[in-house]
Structure 1
């Protein structure tokens, strides 16, 4: 019986092996194709990463070369001639270009550069918002206060990462237009905000005192007197 069982097992194993070979001959190309696709996909991702890295390095080198130019206007001109190659790179390049244009006292060009970036749908929203904010700062004394107020109001809405900075600019517009009470009230609101930063708190406290007001008790995360370095 044992020899018979052994023979049956051998035959069964041989049949299974033949069936496996037949399946491999019939469907093996599918497994090979899947394997090739996986290997190709990994290789493609690595190539894309290498290209992105090389592109970023080339952009950085070009910007450093442009910034090494002595004359401010020439630096701005050199930056405008650089091709970024990516949306994020283009955003950083545009902001650097606008900064150099502003340093060269070419405010209209700086505003135009930032405005173009602020409406570029290819770049992330935060870049567009920062560009709009910087443009509005440069427009002080150039664009009507009411028009700037409308734009800063949009940036000061809840959920906007620049809302407190925009609120500060709205307070400065209140001062510019002679509405001291509105400016003081806005600064008090800023001091009571849970997301208030230390630098903004310091500026708000200084302006409130300069306008003849005093911080309301309990409106800041830390004692107002301590912010000015006084003892209580």
Structure 2
């Protein structure tokens, strides 16, 4: 190849590189923005999902605490004060419309309607199913209550330990004391069990004649006590 041809190719290649760099300088920011949008959108979606789950669980816990209050006026006041919007507001209105003391049948029917409403999030439906079993008590057969609690007690469900607690009480009703104690003891060591569930489980174990293992004292705390 002659020198003029080589020179022309080098110039052509240089022009191509210059054009490529010019295009990158002119439009490269679009690609950067696209990457940032994809990464940022994924992060935002995950954050919103986590926030929604946390809000749903907090709402459910607040509702359960309110419904456990003794006086009807206290329950109504606590439910009314519970922060809620959208679907949560609809659930609160449903619960406020019926009281398990003043209208037991109405409360059970309202909770059953919510538990079977496929348009509601599973966490709310689980909450309604759990509360329905608690309110109905012996009005429902043990097998029916266990059938309602079974899916709520599945791994990963937000009210799993509370459902397991109620299932342990069903064993007590059936006279299966040893099995009930074993189920309640398992709740004591379950990392997902809230303080209220553990406290009730411990009291029930003692009432059934079982024994509760003493809490393990951290070695550092033991050493500090010995030093004192």
Q: Residue 149 of structure 1 corresponds to which residue in structure 2? A: 146
Q: Secondary structure of 1:141's partner?
A: helix
Residue correspondence of structure 1 range 51-130 to structure 2 within 5 A: 86-98=86-98, 101-104=99-102, 106-130=103-127
Residue correspondence of structure 1 range 6-21 to structure 2 within 5 A: none
Where does structure 1 differ by over 4 angstroms across 4 or more consecutive aligned residues?
A: 220-223
**Equivalent-residue separation in structure 1 for 2:130 and 2:175 (angstroms):** 22
Deviations 1:40-77 (A, max 9, x none): xxxxxxxxxxxxxxxxxxxxxxxxxxxxxxxx7xxx9x
Mark the runs of 5 or more structure 1 residues left unpaired by the alignment.
Answer: 1-71, 77-84, 224-232
Q: Residue 205 of structure 2 corresponds to which residue in structure 1? A: 208
Counterpart check, 1:199 vs 2:196: yes
Q: Tell me by how many angstroms 1:197 deviates.
A: 1.8
Q: Secondary structure of 1:103's partner?
A: coil
Q: Tell me by how many angstroms 1:124 deviates.
A: 2.1
Deviations 1:131-164 (A, max 9, x none): 1111111121101011101211221110011110
| Structure 1 pair 179–87 and aligned structure 2 pair: CA distance change class (3 A) | same
TM-score (ref. length: structure 2): 0.55
**Equivalent-residue separation in structure 1 for 2:87 and 2:184 (angstroms):** 36
Q: Is the Cα contact below 8 Å between 2:129 and 2:149 reproduced in 1?
A: no
Q: Residue 183 of structure 1 corresponds to which residue in structure 2? A: 180
Q: Residue 23 of structure 1 corresponds to which residue in structure 2? A: none
TM-score (ref. length: structure 1): 0.54
| Structure 1 pair 188–122 and aligned structure 2 pair: CA distance change class (3 A) | same
**Equivalent-residue separation in structure 2 for 1:221 and 1:173 (angstroms):** 30
Number of equivalenced pairs: 139
Q: Residue 155 of structure 2 corresponds to which residue in structure 1? A: 158
**Equivalent-residue separation in structure 1 for 2:138 and 2:160 (angstroms):** 22
**Equivalent-residue separation in structure 1 for 2:111 and 2:211 (angstroms):** 37
Q: Which has the larger radius of gyration?
A: 1
Q: Tell me by how many angstroms 1:86 deviates.
A: 4.3
> Over aligned residue pairs, what C-alpha RMSD do you find?
2.7
| Structure 1 pair 189–222 and aligned structure 2 pair: CA distance change class (3 A) | farther
